[in-house]
Amino acid sequence: MADRLYLSCWIRGFGAMSMLRHYEKVLQLFPFSKLKRTDSAFRVYAIEYSEPPLIEVPVAAPVNPTSVIDSAKEFQNADACYELDAAWDLWTLDPEWKLAPSRVLISCYGPEFSRETDEHLRIEFGLDEQFLPGPGGPDGMPMIRANIQSLLRLVHDLDDRLRVDRRQLWSESGENFAERLEAALRQFKE
């Protein structure tokens, strides 16, 4: 069963005054889709997710990180959450393999924003099946490998650019994604 795949990051020196600087670095590094023709969306929440967004604005393609951060600065507060609902290009099987925009949600949490987890930055990559061998058989392995390489390149770029204290690649079920990937690869080889 497919789960949502997330990357959570905890940043050294993260606080209300530095959070948008860190968020901007993530947005500058992120390989936004070159194929997406529709607008992305930027939202700011205050206090907790049960509150309506303070702002929800369209972001024209291609995503301009500077304009997103300029919008965020109008609502800079320790109890805010900033979310960019955008896309990046991944190989998908539908019904043939093709490179296509895939939804991604990039979030930055103020230290006083109420949430279940305590990470500072989170990226939701969509369904983990885009990164696991399975449907498509052996012909799909080069595409799955390319998706995994894109994911790992982003994680390493973030490690190089941010002062990451801790990071976790996890799925909605709570399972360790690295272990699931290893198991899927073993099963695929058998």
Helix (H, G, I), strand (E, B) or coil at 23: helix
| Separation of alpha carbons 140 and 93, rounded Å | 8
| Separation of alpha carbons 148 and 28, rounded Å | 20
**What is the per-residue pLDDT across 14-29, written as a single tens digit (0 to 9) for each?**
999 999 999 999 999 9
Give φ, ψ of 143 to 5 degrees. -75, -45
Does the pLDDT at position 185 exceed 70? no
Percent of the chain whose pLDDT exceeds 70 = 93
- Pairing between β-strand 121-127 and β-strand 4-11 as defined by DSSP bridges: antiparallel
**What is the per-residue pLDDT across 117-153, written as a single tens digit (0 to 9) for each?**
899 999 999 988 888 876 556 677 888 889 999 999 9
Helix (H, G, I), strand (E, B) or coil at 156: helix
- Pairing between β-strand 97-109 and β-strand 80-93 as defined by DSSP bridges: antiparallel
Distance between start and end Cα atoms, the chain: 20
The model carries a pTM of 0.92
Tell me if 141 sits within 8 A of 185, measured CB to CB: no
Cα 98 to chain centroid distance, Å, stands at: 21
Averaged over 81-107, what is the pLDDT? Answer: 94
Q: How far is CA 38 from CA 27, 85, 87, 171, in A?
A: 18, 12, 10, 27
Rounded to the nearest integer, the mean pLDDT of the chain is 90
* Nearest of 20, 105, 102 to residue 68 by alpha carbon: 20
